[in-house]
Amino acid sequence: MSSRSQTIADILTRAIIDHRLVPGCKLGERELSEIFDVSRIVVRQALIRLADDGLAQIERNRGAFVAKPSMQEAMEIYDALTLVEQGVAAQLSDRLGPAGWAELRQHVERQRQAVASGNDALADVLGQEFHTVFVRLSRNKVMQEIHAQLVRRTTLLRSLITADFDYCNLLDDHSRVVDLLEKGRLKQAMDLIDTHHRAVVRGYIMDREVYAEMTPAEALAPYLDGKADGAAPIAPRKPAKSSGNGDGTAHVHVHLPKQDPAPKSRTSAKKTNRGLPA
């Protein structure tokens, strides 16, 4: 088993990318040490790991907070992600064998089936996973780690940011990228990757609370005992100092089509972030 600080860092990372801990949220050492029932020092080590990963920022004598990237940094992260995925695409177009293409197609197909069967949650997870699989096929662990870190940070961005346009015409991008690459149309594939990410960034609007704020105790509860993950029970939201609109249940990056606290008339299901690039 790994070190305890690593375990806690992993849990915190998971809670952040699950949008349970939103940007700006204070990560107090004492509070976390009581939640995890460890000493403050272990928590500090975990927070150092998170800060090195870009998911938290530590201000001297003030403490650690979930990172709150600026719009500038958001664009930089997406630029970097684009650069990495374009580079991987170029490598794969040369080196990838039939088995690799089959794996990509199979993954796309699984996502398509999930969408068809209305399992939005699974579709969302698969949509995220596609990029990871894509980079894994480069067989470069260093690159995988860099990419995974960037993906985590884009996921973080989605807590801070809300998309304001229709994503439907981006849903098939994965499939199209695979098609283009396998046909050797590298340039077009790279352009598509770029367009994909650029479109997403352009749709971003900052300074809006998308996910509700929870106290760390509430946010971390599902991860503590039973090692429950994906289908973790959602704790009821307590309006601590919620600054945003009251809407938006903090889910496990599972998009539920506009599930309001008062689920009366759900709005257009098209303004969703299903199948986002990250």
Partner DNA sequence: AAACACAAGATTGGATATCAATCAACGATT
Partner DNA sequence: AATCGTTGATTGATATCCAATCTTGTGTTT
**Which residues contact DNA (rule: CB under 7 A)?**
3-5, 26, 28-30, 38-42, 44-45, 58-64
Q: Which amino acid is at 188?
A: Q
* Identified binder of its own copies from the candidate list 43, 88, 212, 221, rule CB under 8 A: 88
Q: Should residue 132 be labelled a site residue for its own copies when binding is judged by CB under 8 A? A: no
Q: Should residue 247 be labelled a site residue for its own copies when binding is judged by CB under 8 A? A: no
* Partner touching 30 among DNA, its own copies, none, CB below 5 to 8 Å by kind: DNA
Q: Which is nearer to its own copies, 32 or 254 (CB)?
A: 32
| Strand, coil or helix: 265 | coil
**To the nearest whole angstrom, how small is the minimum distance from the Cβ of residue 215 to DNA?**
12
**To the nearest whole angstrom, how small is the minimum distance from the Cβ of residue 50 to DNA?**
12
Structure tokens at 32: 């976390």
Q: Which is nearer to its own copies, 55 or 163 (CB)?
A: 55
Residue 144: partners with Cβ closer than 8 Å, 6 or more residues away: 132, 135, 136, 138
Give dist(CA 199, CA 33) in Å, integer: 41
H-type alpha helices, the chain: 4-17, 29-36, 40-52, 71-95, 98-116, 120-136, 141-160, 173-182, 186-202, 216-224
Give dist(CA 49, CA 221) in Å, integer: 21
Would you say 55 and 20 are in contact if contact means Cβ atoms under 8 Å apart? Answer: no
**To the nearest whole angstrom, how small is the minimum distance from the Cβ of residue 118 to its own copies?**
36
Could you say which residues in the range 163-222 bind its own copies, by CB under 8 A? none
* Partner touching 49 among its own copies, DNA, none, CB below 5 to 8 Å by kind: its own copies
**To the nearest whole angstrom, how small is the minimum distance from the Cβ of residue 23 to DNA?**
17
Q: Which is nearer to DNA, 4 or 112 (CB)?
A: 4
Of residues 20, 12, 71, the one with CA closest to residue 42: 12
Would you say 82 and 45 are in contact if contact means Cβ atoms under 8 Å apart? Answer: no
Q: Which residues bind its own copies (CB under 8 A)?
A: 1-3, 5, 41, 44-45, 48-49, 52-54, 58, 60, 73, 76-77, 79-80, 83-84, 86-88, 90-91, 140-143, 146, 150, 153
